[in-house]
Amino acid sequence: MKAVTWHGRRDVRVEDVPDPTIQEPTDAIVRITSSGLCGSDLHLYETLGPFMGKGDVLGHEPLGIVEEVGSATGDLKVGDRVVMPFQICCGSCWMCDRGLYTQCETTQVRDQGSGAALFGFSKLYGEVPGAQAEFLRVPQAQFMPIKVPEGPVDERFLFLSDVLPTAWQSVVYADVPEGGTLLVLGLGPIGEMATRIALHQGIRVISVDRAPERLARAKARGAEVIDLDAVDDVGEEVRSLTQGRGADSVIDAVGMEAHGSPVAEIGQRVFNALPKRLSAAIMDKVGLDRMSAIYTAIDAVRRGGTVSLIGVYGGETDPMPMMTMFDKQLQFRMGQANVKRWVDDIMPLLVDDADPLGTEQFATHQVPLSEAPEAYENFQKKLDGTVKVVFKP
């Protein structure tokens, strides 16, 4: 089959790889009809290279049709239309029982000290072949697939794999008080969807980015927007819009590919030039994150406010401004999204014919797998108006 594979920094290819097969009674094989490209894939494309292997199949936002089932996959049937969460989880362990699916104790990648295994996401998360491919082996298929109705186009349900529950969790974790203001940093797919969800819930939202088309999309949905490049200091700007206090809650939907810290970018380039074994060790011990968004979040949140961190940061000893965090009495919530925890909350909005979150028009580009190299580049560099890419294998 054809699949998008990783070969090095900014080097993804479309190659023929062996078709996946059933390996465990709980496996299923799904024929992929739509597969998203995520900001998290950009970390693999740019920053997390040391943890990737040449030929690893990328992608973790799959929707498709069940092609084959193992002998212990419950009521899953060949022909079912299904979406899979980006994390692999069993649904019946201690963590899954508590809705903490990204911590699943059956699939935790213990030798790396990581949580649940993820599709298409490096050795840190189990090196499970990903979903930007014609077929996907789905482990834990007695629990994983989310069945969705026939009828609407794939895009109505595709974002249940990642964007919707991630954005939803970020808004829940932001815990915006009644009448409060939410600041959303980053208007990639995650920040934009968080903006849409919060607006739909009647929350005042201020969103920040510097890509003009991303700012325009959020503004069109009713957010106030701040252009990163048009202000000297985001924190000051936010305080001027919130009676001098700052936002009640802030979502950091940027993560480690933040722009705005050139010193770190130079460090990044040096780091990328190191031998692979050395750079993996450094990444793990020292952390080499571009922290500008999280610093902005800590500055722009009001005293006693909440920061909801949904952007992904790697490395273990990030230089956090602990004194300010403590002095401001902040609350932080973070982590990968527990996809299945939120599906029942979101589904009513998706089966509503009015499509209140605008899922059907959310993707800006639908492309065949063969165009993956250009799609990755355009998404990373924000060229050609690229906000959300959906591959159509």
Burial class (CB in 10 A: 0-12, 13-18, 19+), 194: buried
- Residue length of the chain: 393
Contacts (CB under 5 A) with Zn ion, residues 34-63:
38, 40
Alpha-helical (H) ranges within 176-257 are 189-200, 212-220, 234-240
Q: For Zn ion, give the closer residue by CB, 106 or 308.
A: 106
- Contact residue for ligand NAD among 209, 237, 248, 299 (CB under 6 A): 209
Spatial distance between the Cα atoms of 184 and 191, rounded to a whole number of angstroms: 6
**Whole-number Cα distances in Å, 193 to 149, 157, 186, 278, 323:** 22, 14, 11, 37, 32
Question: Which of Zn ion, ligand NAD, none binds 337 (CB below 5-8 Å, type-dependent)?
Answer: ligand NAD
Instruction: Give the nearer residue to Zn ion in terms of CB position, either 162 or 257.
Output: 162
209 binds, among Zn ion, ligand NAD, none (CB under 5 to 8 A by kind): ligand NAD
Number of Cβ within a 10 Å radius of residue 331: 16
Shortest CB 291 distance to ligand NAD, Å: 9
- Binding of ligand NAD at residue 43 (CB under 6 A)? yes
69 binds, among Zn ion, ligand NAD, none (CB under 5 to 8 A by kind): none
Residues 6+ apart with CB under 8 A from 87: 101, 102, 104, 107, 115, 116, 117, 118, 119, 336, 338, 339
Residues of this chain, 172-191, that bind Zn ion according to CB under 5 A: none
Detail the DSSP E strand segments found in the chain. Answer: 2-8, 11-16, 28-37, 62-69, 81-83, 135-138, 146-147, 181-185, 204-209, 224-227, 247-252, 301-309, 331-334, 365-367, 389-391
Site residues (CB under 6 A) for ligand NAD, limited to 71-90: none
Instruction: Name which of 66 and 300 has its Cβ closer to ligand NAD.
Output: 300
Query: What is the rounded CA–CA span in Å between residue 60 and residue 203?
Result: 30
Helix and strand numbers, DSSP H then E, in the chain: 13, 15
User: Which CB, 104 or 294, lies closer to Zn ion?
Assistant: 104
Considering only residues 61 through 120, tell me which ones interact with Zn ion, judged by CB under 5 A.
89-90, 93, 96, 104, 106
Least separation, in Å, of the C-beta of 283 and Zn ion? 20
Listed ranges 149-157, 204-212, 274-282, 322-330: which one lies at the site for ligand NAD (CB under 6 A)? 204-212
Residue 100 CA to its chain's centroid (Å): 16
- The bridge status of strand 247-252 relative to strand 81-83 is unpaired
Instruction: List % helix, strand, coil for the chain (3-state, nearest 5).
Output: 35, 20, 45
312: contact with ligand NAD by CB under 6 A: yes
Judge contact between 152 and 164, C-beta under 8 A: no
Q: Which is nearer to ligand NAD, 106 or 292 (CB)?
A: 292
197 lines the binding site for ligand NAD (CB under 6 A):
no
Positions in 132-191 near ligand NAD (CB under 6 A): 162, 166, 185-191
Q: Which does 258 bind (CB under 5 to 8 A by kind): Zn ion, ligand NAD, none?
A: ligand NAD
Tell me which of 3, 29, 32, 42 binds ligand NAD, using CB under 6 A. 42
Q: Write down the residue that tokens 């040391």 correspond to.
A: 50
Q: Which is nearer to Zn ion, 155 or 162 (CB)?
A: 162
Nearest CB to ligand NAD, comparing residues 129 and 188 = 188
- At position 33, the amino acid (one-letter code) is T
Question: CB of 124: closest distance to ligand NAD in angstroms?
Answer: 13
Residues 6+ apart with CB under 8 A from 51: 122, 123, 124, 280, 283
Binding to ligand NAD in span 231-270, by CB under 6 A: 253-255, 257-260
Minimum CB separation from ligand NAD for residue 324, in Å?
Answer: 17
Q: Which residues bind Zn ion (CB under 5 A)?
A: 38, 40, 89-90, 93, 96, 104, 106, 162
Q: Which residues of this chain interact with ligand NAD, rule CB under 6 A? A: 38-40, 42-43, 162, 166, 185-191, 208-211, 214, 228, 253-255, 257-260, 292-293, 296, 310-312, 336-337
